[in-house]
């Protein structure tokens, strides 16, 4: 059976290769240009992104699968204007397209969090990014050091990856945000069948670069030490146990000296581990690749000539990327479980005002926000934040069905806690309310319980021992009253409670009860 995660990772691998493995061509320093793109600068930009799922030829798609594919193929992202002040302060104005409709949105992000306003929302959605407010270590002060480490690591990778077979550079004029510019076009094409062939020479080159590897290990060591007590030191474990390699002998370390007691020794030790691992991998690399493809035959399709990546990057004289066009196609193996033959992605981007004065736009939060990082956010809370006639509400409710619930209860099993009393099935109130995302409020010492419907926000009031209940402003009579057993568990009539929370209840002669909410 095919494991979907294996082919989902393929586009990421291909994109990594696209952004690396390039040396100087025709006097144009590709490595320097690519590496410079990882340094976040103030800028403004616009972008489009679209997807396409290609069904397998002759595949038997169900009506639900066809509908899902049609929805995905209709999806698109349009960024009309993105303003980047730095890595933490960004704003985006754009829209998400689906099924011929457009859903406008505005996003603003700073060090503390991200705020998103979507058309039809009563309040913007807020996502907290300040880890200190969530009881986690504050990484803000280390972001520059971590970013420098990432750029240094990427530089090492770029340095040693070989060029793809199709790589060219030419000068031309292109329009960026309506302005005609003289740009250098870097054109890259890569097939899935080239990928494994690029890895072996990369590892060979990397294993020979002792200085480069030790520099990046040393940089990682410095970052790790800076983070201090927030994280466990990744170097503190017994290397000789895992790799059967005696570093104390190799580096003439006295037995009384603590293992890896200094940066120099630690860096040398880690370098030895990496170099040994690469050497062992290269010793029988071709055999391991063959074995991998034999054990996972679906990778032969993903890593075939039918998987393609075409990228055009346009650089100005300062080596800033001013325009990008990307087409990615990932071929997928035939499978009854996944009746599609390929996934396609197309993206275009234009960037201007690089290094200029950029002030990100703010999202209006005067009406408050819906903080989705503040505890558990239920489907009802999300739906109630949108006007019922808005496109987002219809998408969430009707297409994505975020409010849908389905559970099966065995009345003959003690596990679900169902009790039959006076021909009425009772279920623990807490269990059923949690299954349907309802909130339960009960004032201590009172027999009155308030259940708040997650979808409608309606209050359902029941009183222990009473057949009278209220659903909103409407008074109803129960077949049997709610009761509390000897253990203190409150039981309510199952059908009444489920139907009051918008679910449909069905039972069969074998004792099974299904509860479904659309």
State residue 386 phi and psi, 5-degree precision.
Answer: -120, 145
* pLDDT, position 3: 37
* pLDDT, position 361: 95
Q: How far apart are CA 485 and CA 472, in angstroms?
A: 27
Contacts of 462 (CB under 8 A, 6+ apart): 448, 449, 451, 469, 478, 482, 492
* Confidence tier at 255 by pLDDT (50, 70, 90): very low
Contacts of 207 (CB under 8 A, 6+ apart): 275, 278, 279, 282
Does the structure show a pLDDT above 50 at 494? yes
User: Whose CA is closest to 3, among 421, 475, 335, 425?
Assistant: 335
Tell me how many degrees the CA angle 236-242-245 measures, rounded to the nearest 5. Answer: 95
Start-end of CATH 3.30.457.10 domains in the chain: 405-517
Here the tokens at position 394 are 């219809």
Q: Read off the DSSP letter of residue 397.
A: I
- Averaged over 318-341, what is the pLDDT? 88
* pLDDT, position 140: 58
The overall average pLDDT reported for the chain is 82
Which runs of E-coded beta strand occur in 369-496? 370-371, 405-410, 419-421, 424-428, 439-442, 448-452, 459-463, 468-471, 474-477, 483-484, 490-493
Determine whether 27 is exposed, middle or buried from the number of CB atoms within 10 Å of its CB (0-12, 13-18, 19+): exposed
Q: How far apart are CA 319 and CA 328, in angstroms?
A: 24
Q: How far apart are CA 433 and CA 40, in angstroms?
A: 47
Q: Which of 16-25, 40-49, 83-92 has the lowest mean pLDDT?
A: 16-25
Q: Quick one: CATH architecture of 405-517?
A: 2-Layer Sandwich (3.30)
Does the structure show a pLDDT above 50 at 226? yes
pLDDT digits over 167-189, tens only?
888 999 999 999 999 999 999 99
pLDDT digits over 126-163, tens only?
998 875 555 555 555 666 777 777 778 877 887 887 87
* pLDDT, position 155: 79
Contacts of 148 (CB under 8 A, 6+ apart): 219
* pLDDT, position 515: 92
Element housing 249 (H / E): helix 247-250
Q: How far apart are CA 19 and CA 31, in angstroms?
A: 9
Q: How far apart are CA 456 and CA 472, in angstroms?
A: 10
Contacts of 218 (CB under 8 A, 6+ apart): 263, 267
Element housing 308 (H / E): strand 308-315
Burial 9-25 (b: 16+ CB within 10 A, else e): ebbeebbebbbbbbeee
Tell me how many degrees the CA angle 512-516-518 measures, rounded to the nearest 5. Answer: 165
User: Whose CA is closest to 322, among 92, 50, 47?
Assistant: 47
- With contact defined as beta carbons under 8 Å apart, do 303 and 245 qualify? no
């Amino acid at each position: 059976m095919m494991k979907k995660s294996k082919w989902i990772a393929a586009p990421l691998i291909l994109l990594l290769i696209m952004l690396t493995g390039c040396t100087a061509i025709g006097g144009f320093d590709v490595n320097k240009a690519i590496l410079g793109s990882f340094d976040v600068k103030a800028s403004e930009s616009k972008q489009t992104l679209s997807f396409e799922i290609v069904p397998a030829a002759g595949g038997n798609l169900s009506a639900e699968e066809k509908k899902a594919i049609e929805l995905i193929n209709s999806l698109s992202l349009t960024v009309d204007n993105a303003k980047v002040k730095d890595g933490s302060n960004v704003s985006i104005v754009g829209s998400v397209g689906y099924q011929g409709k457009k859903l406008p949105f505005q996003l603003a992000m700073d060090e503390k969090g991200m705020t998103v306003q979507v058309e039809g929302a009563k309040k913007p959605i807020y996502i907290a990014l300040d880890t200190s407010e969530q009881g986690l270590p504050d990484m803000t002060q280390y972001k520059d050091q971590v970013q420098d480490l990432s750029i240094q690591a990427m530089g090492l990778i770029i340095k040693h990856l070989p060029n793809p077979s199709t790589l060219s550079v030419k000068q031309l004029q292109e329009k960026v945000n309506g302005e005609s510019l003289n740009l250098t076009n870097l054109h890259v094409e890569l097939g899935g069948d080239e990928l494994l062939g690029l890895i072996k020479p990369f590892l060979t080159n990397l294993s020979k670069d002792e200085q480069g590897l030790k520099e990046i290990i040393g940089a990682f060591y410095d970052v790790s030490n800076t983070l201090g007590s927030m994280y466990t030191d990744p170097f503190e474990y017994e290397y000789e146990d895992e790799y059967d390699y005696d570093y104390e002998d190799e580096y003439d370390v006295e037995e009384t000296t603590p293992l890896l007691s200094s940066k120099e020794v630690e860096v040398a030790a880690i370098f030895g581990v990496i170099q040994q691992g690469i050497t062992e991998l290269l010793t029988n690399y071709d055999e391991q690749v063959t074995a991998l493809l034999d054990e996972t035959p679906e990778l032969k399709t993903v890593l075939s000539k039918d998987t393609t990546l075409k990228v055009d990057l346009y650089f100005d004289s300062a080596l800033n990327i001013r325009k990008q066009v990307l087409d990615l196609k990932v071929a997928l193996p035939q499978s009854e479980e996944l009746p599609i033959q390929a996934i396609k992605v197309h993206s275009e981007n234009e960037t201007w005002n690089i290094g200029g004065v950029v002030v990100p736009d703010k999202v209006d939060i005067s009406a408050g926000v819906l903080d989705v990082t503040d505890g558990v956010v239920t489907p009802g809370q999300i739906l109630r934040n949108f006007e019922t006639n808005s496109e987002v509400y219809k998408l969430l409710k009707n297409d994505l069905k975020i409010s849908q619930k389905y559970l099966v209860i065995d009345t003959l099993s003690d596990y679900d806690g169902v009790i039959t009393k006076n021909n009425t099935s009772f279920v623990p109130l807490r269990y059923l309310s949690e299954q349907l995302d309802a909130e339960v409020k009960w004032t201590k010492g009172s027999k009155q319980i308030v259940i708040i419907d997650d979808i409608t926000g309606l209050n359902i009031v029941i009183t222990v021992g009473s057949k009278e209940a209220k659903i909103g402003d409407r008074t109803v009579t129960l077949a049997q009253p709610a009761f509390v057993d000897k253990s203190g568990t409150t039981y309510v009539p199952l059908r009444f409670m489920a139907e009051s929370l918008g679910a449909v209840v069905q039972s069969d002669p074998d004792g099974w009860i299904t509860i479904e909410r659309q």
